[in-house]
Amino acid sequence: MPRVSPGERLAAAARERVARDAVRRLHTVSRREGARIEIDGRRLLDFSGNDYLGLAANPAAVAALREAAAAHGVGGVASHLVCGHHAEHAALERELADWLGWPRALVLGSGFAANLAVLQSLLGRDDLCLQDRLNHASLIDGARLAGCVLRRYPHGDIETAARLLAAHERGLALLASDGVFSMDGDVAPLRELAALAAREDALLYIDDAHGVGVLGERGRGSVAAAGLGPREVPLLLVTFGKALGGYGAALLGSDALIDHLLQTARPYIYTTATPPALAAAMRANLRAARDDGWRREKLRAHIARFREGAARRGLPLLPSDTPIQPLVLGDNARTLAASAALDVAGFRVAAIRPPSVPEGSARLRITLSAAHAEADIDALLVALAGIVEH
């Protein structure tokens, strides 16, 4: 095969994206007020973000951020193991572990980095990483980085997962799944996964980025909602950029697991710590997510209202009881046109296309928030009914 210049490679990739209606546009948000945003100079009602509890502008978190920034500055200064681990990080880890019921927590810069950290740190050449086919890209990339055997079972297919797990006879087996799937909005069969992991002596790791804060008693997530805890799910991922309204992530597990990650996980060891002020803000939002039950009640009411209204209008939503409400249109061009028409009507609803979702399943990914009002939900339904039927 002849050598290809960088310019030729980039030009070919650009032509392919255009041919598949797969070009992504970067939009600039200049102002945000609750569920309303100003983006590219237009004021729109946002149904694309992940601020499920409306905590991104929580006054208590903003005040905590300002106070901590005034006291400690705006930088993490160094990696955690050098001199970047601040008292605010330690306090956030303690409060997270206490809220969710795991022995110990470890704060990292992002959920993506956390998934790379877990799989790179725990798995090697002879080990197995078994994953749901619709897992987040960071879990897939983490397994590839680890150099382990990666097997993916059809979405939610416990029987196939069991066969694949039983067939691997060497090394460590790690079973990884999203708790709430980010593009479909459904919840993993967590009790069945826990039973399978226990039967096959595999380590079960759940990425609950879209579940914590939203599901379970006091917002403790999809694992708690399934009646499970650290015995059944030894390792859990929580992100701060969804229901907690901020940025960053944390891993929760036993003392032994967390200490191993602290000692060996390259995305933790070789990265500057997040700013202490951000950790202070996340502590404020953690308390709000835990204690403000009205936010979850309002969100649940919005989900029910939206799904009932969609059913009356014949809108083909995927089954989901979470804030993620996908409307699959299939064709990339049709999905882009629907998103653009919604933009004109005053709504920001992102068009999600491959590779974020499987080929032929392009969709409008509608996300709901406690920051929305009932009138916002109703207005979106009217717009969707007028646009999708055409």
The verdict on whether residue 330 carries a ligand-binding annotation is no
Q: What is the distance between the alpha carbons of residues 261 and 118, in angstroms, rounded to a whole number?
A: 7
Tell whether 239 is in a known binding site.
yes
User: Smallest Cα–Cα separation from 21: which of 388, 329, 362, 350?
Assistant: 362
DSSP secondary structure letter of residue 157: -
Q: Is 112 annotated as contributing to ligand binding?
A: yes
Is residue 242 flagged as an active site residue? yes
> Residue 347, annotated ligand binder?
no
Q: Is 11 exposed, middle or buried (0-12, 13-18, 19+ CB in 10 A)?
A: exposed
**Based on the number of CB atoms within 10 Å of its own CB, is 343 exposed (0-12), middle (13-18) or buried (19 or more)?**
middle
Two structure tokens written together for 240? 């701060």
Give the position of tokens 């193991």. 81
Q: What are phi and psi of 295, to 5 degrees?
A: -65, -45
Residues pairing with 251 in the sheet: 106, 237
**Was 85 annotated as part of a binding site?**
no
Q: Which of 110, 138, 182, 320 is catalytic?
A: 182
Which helix or strand (DSSP H or E) is residue 351 part of? strand 351-352
Residue 298 is among the residues annotated as catalytic for this protein: no
Q: Phi/psi class of residue 21: alpha, beta or left (left: φ > 0; alpha: ψ in -120 to 50)?
A: left
Residue 322, marked binder: no
Cβ atoms of 22 and 353 closer than 8 Å: yes
CB 249 within 8 A of CB 239: yes
- Catalytic annotation, pick one of 210, 298, 302, 372: 210
28 has binding-site annotation:
no
Query: Can you give 304-326 as a three-state secondary structure string?
Result: HHHHHHHHHCCCCECCCCCCEEE
Q: Give catalytic residue positions.
A: 182, 210, 242
Q: List, as residue ranges, the binding site for substrate.
A: 24, 136
Q: List, as residue ranges, the binding site.
A: 24, 111-112, 136, 182, 210, 239
Q: List, as residue ranges, the binding site for pyridoxal 5'-phosphate.
A: 111-112, 182, 210, 239
